[in-house]
């Protein structure tokens, strides 16, 4: 009898916690909706450098939310909330339009924009993207959309159809956060991507143990065979940069070189190499 009562109490407690978290989600979603209307969102851009020349070849657009009360909330917190409610569709269109406008100023480099599964699942998305490209006049060949495995796993048929339309514009697709999911290497052969982005966790691990390094190297081998470019994300140390360069990554993204910067600060970094060359790089550039 006592344990039955205990069980019931636990149940009540669980559902109360559940209601509370639902309420919190709803509250944040309302705040996000208001934030979009009140222009509380901002875009930062993290430069990606060529692993050989160390010149900026691309920027990844990263969304920032500074609420009216001055509090900053990270995208890892608020994007999942916006995905759940569908608000990510409106936010995502704002991001694309703003990023294409900002990037008009930066000659020759690629603009990378993150796209959620919920956006790709929306059958209207390719048409909306087409409109944004037309309105802004941004060259589709310079645009790259970053998607994750989840985008394709949830609804492969719709996703593939949309990706075909998007590629028809000349836009490139890259597979983000590689090494964090389940499908990994097999997944690379199943779908076509122009670029592979190795997640920070894989880069860190590859610097620490043989198994992870082998995993990274074989992913790069498969990517190469499939004519994909490879970017290493989250590179924070010179050792990591040397390692991923030797492993065959074409592009390096990480705090070693750049954090995400406001749009106004990008132009000044274009066209010149960042940081000082290591002995390895000096030797390599003489060969090249």
In angstroms, what is the minimal distance from the CB of 59 to Mg ion? 11
239 touching ligand C2E, by CB under 6 A? no
Q: Angle, nearest 10°, between helix axes 210-225 and 238-247?
A: 40
Helices (H), 57-147: 75-85, 88-103, 117-121, 125-136
CA 38 vs. chain centroid, Å, equals 25
Rounded CA gap, 90 and 94, in Å?
Answer: 6
Rounded CA gap, 53 and 252, in Å?
Answer: 11
Residue choice 86, 255, 262, 283 for contact with ligand C2E (CB under 6 A)? 255
In angstroms, what is the minimal distance from the CB of 264 to ligand C2E? 18
In angstroms, what is the minimal distance from the CB of 19 to ligand C2E? 27
Residue choice 31, 83, 146, 281 for contact with Mg ion (CB under 5 A)? 146
Rounded CA gap, 9 and 53, in Å?
Answer: 64
Name which of 175 and 263 has its Cβ closer to Mg ion. Answer: 175
234 touching ligand C2E, by CB under 6 A? yes
31 touching Mg ion, by CB under 5 A? no
Is the Cβ–Cβ distance between 135 and 147 less than 8 Å?
Answer: no
Pairing of strands 251-252, 261-262: unpaired
176 touching Mg ion, by CB under 5 A? yes
| Per rule CB under 5 A, count of chain residues that contact Mg ion | 5
Residue choice 142, 172, 195, 200 for contact with ligand C2E (CB under 6 A)? 200
232 touching ligand C2E, by CB under 6 A? no
Residue choice 102, 149, 177, 281 for contact with ligand C2E (CB under 6 A)? 177
110 touching Mg ion, by CB under 5 A? no
Alpha-carbon dihedral angle through residues 225, 174, 273, 246, given to the nearest 10 degrees: -30
144 touching ligand C2E, by CB under 6 A? no
Rounded CA gap, 249 and 198, in Å?
Answer: 9
Is the Cβ–Cβ distance between 158 and 121 less than 8 Å?
Answer: yes
Rounded CA gap, 117 and 121, in Å?
Answer: 6
The site partner of 249 among Mg ion, ligand C2E, none (C-beta below 5 to 8 Å per kind) is none
Residue choice 149, 177, 250, 281 for contact with Mg ion (CB under 5 A)? 177
Q: Give the contact letters, 42-71, x = binds to ligand C2E (CB under 6 A), - = no.
A: ----x---------------xx--------
Residue choice 10, 15, 21, 75 for contact with ligand C2E (CB under 6 A)? 75
Give me 255's structure tokens: 């705090």
In angstroms, what is the minimal distance from the CB of 106 to ligand C2E? 18
In angstroms, what is the minimal distance from the CB of 63 to ligand C2E? 4
114 touching Mg ion, by CB under 5 A? yes
CB environment 119-153: b (16+ within 10 A), e (fewer): bbebeebbebbbebbeebebbbebbbbbbbbbbbe
Contacts with ligand C2E, residue ranges (CB under 6 A)? 46, 62-63, 74-76, 79, 92, 95, 114-116, 146, 176-177, 200, 233-236, 253-255, 260
Binding site for Mg ion (CB under 5 A): 114, 146, 176-177, 233
């Amino acid at each position: 009898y006592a344990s039955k009562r205990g069980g019931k109490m636990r149940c009540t407690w669980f559902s109360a916690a559940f209601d509370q978290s639902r309420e919190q989600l709803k509250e944040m979603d309302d705040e996000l909706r208001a934030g979009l209307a009140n222009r509380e969102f901002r875009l930062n851009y993290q430069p990606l450098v060529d692993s050989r020349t160390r010149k900026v070849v691309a920027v990844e657009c990263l969304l920032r939310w500074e609420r009216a009360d001055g509090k900053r909330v990270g995208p890892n917190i608020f994007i999942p909330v916006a995905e759940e409610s569908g608000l990510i569709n409106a936010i995502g269109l704002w991001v694309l339009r703003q990023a294409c406008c900002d990037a008009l100023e930066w000659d020759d480099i690629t603009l990378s924009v993150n796209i959620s599964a919920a956006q790709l699942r929306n059958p209207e998305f390719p048409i909306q993207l087409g409109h944004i490209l037309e309105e802004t006049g941004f060259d589709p060949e310079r645009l790259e959309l970053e998607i994750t495995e989840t985008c394709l796993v949830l609804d492969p048929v719709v996703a593939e159809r949309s990706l075909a339309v998007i590629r028809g514009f000349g836009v490139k697709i890259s597979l983000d956060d590689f090494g964090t999911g389940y499908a990994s290497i097999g997944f690379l052969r199943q779908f076509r991507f122009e670029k592979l982005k190795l997640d920070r966790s894989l880069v860190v691990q590859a610097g620490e143990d043989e198994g992870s390094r082998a995993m990274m190297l074989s992913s790069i081998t498969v990517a190469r065979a499939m004519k994909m470019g490879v970017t290493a994300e989250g590179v924070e140390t010179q050792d990591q940069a040397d390692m991923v360069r030797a492993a065959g990554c074409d592009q390096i993204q990480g705090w070693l070189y750049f954090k995400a910067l406001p749009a106004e600060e990008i132009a000044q970094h274009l066209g010149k190499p960042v940081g000082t060359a290591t002995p390895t790089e000096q030797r390599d550039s003489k060969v090249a």
